[in-house]
Amino acid sequence: MKISARNKLAGTVVGIEKGAVNATVQIDLGGGSIVSAMITNASVEELELEVGKTAYAIVKASDVMVGAD
């Protein structure tokens, strides 16, 4: 897989919660870090995602927000 994004985080799918149209996919990056992403159910099927499968969380920097107390 070749992509232009530099923030490609490899992990293991640990959860998939499907709704009517979208699904929340949880990817364990290791070290106690889990990333959640909402994608379409069609994408879950297309990517053949299932718990235990290796997957990538790809973060586009322009869509990242940072907050502080």
Give tens-digit pLDDT for 32-44: 999 999 999 999 9
Residue 69 located in a structural domain: no
Residue 68 located in a structural domain: no
Residue range(s) defining the domain that contains residue 44: 7-59
Q: Report the pLDDT value the prediction gives residue 66, as an integer from 0 to 100.
A: 76
Residue 18 located in a structural domain: yes
Instruction: Give the range among 10-19, 27-36, 48-57, 59-68 with minimum mean pLDDT.
Output: 59-68
User: DSSP secondary structure string, the chain?
Assistant: ---S-SEEEEEEEEEEEE-SSEEEEEEEEETTEEEEEEEEHHHHHHTT--TT-EEEEEE-GGG------
Whole-model pTM: value is: 0.84
